[in-house]
Amino acid sequence: MDMNPVGWFEIPVTNMERAKTFYEAVFGFEMCAANVNGYDMAFFPMQSGLPGAAGTLIAGHPYAPSKTGTIVYFATTDIEGTLAKVERSGGKTILQKKSIGEHGFIGWLEDCEGNTIALHSRT
């Protein structure tokens, strides 16, 4: 296989502006919003040729936020600092920074829309 198997992800939201504001505040980047084929979307920043999957926030039928679906892990260099931003931005910490051995550390959170997402860092 000459590529990573995940190439795209979508995080369902009900209130696009609130969700876009949350993700921009927590992760410190700007998202580009657009309506594509009748779906409100806000795209996570990406650069071609770099590792990692691209993705979007998405609102519209049949998308619905979930606490129990697939977990998307966002890379960060500071799990504790990122979780503090989550709390200030309307989300909730589910799991504080936890070691996963030689693979680094994780933390879990609930975003402002009710989705469970996670954080990963090497340190």
Domain-embedded: residue 58: yes
| Assigned domain for 1 exists | no
Count structural domains, the chain: 1
Residue 69 inside a domain? The answer is yes
30 occurs within a structural domain: yes
In a domain, 113, yes or no: yes
Q: How far is CA 25 from CA 2, 22, 33, 81, in A?
A: 34, 5, 15, 12
**What digits encode the pLDDT tens for the residues 110-123?**
999 999 999 999 99
pLDDT digits (tens, 9 = 90+) for 55-65: 999 999 999 99
Q: Is residue 114 situated within a structural domain?
A: yes
Asked whether the predicted pLDDT for residue 41 surpasses 70, the reply is yes
Structural domain for 25, as ranges: 8-121
| pTM (two decimals) | 0.94
Residue 2 lies in a domain: no
Residue 45 DSSP code: P
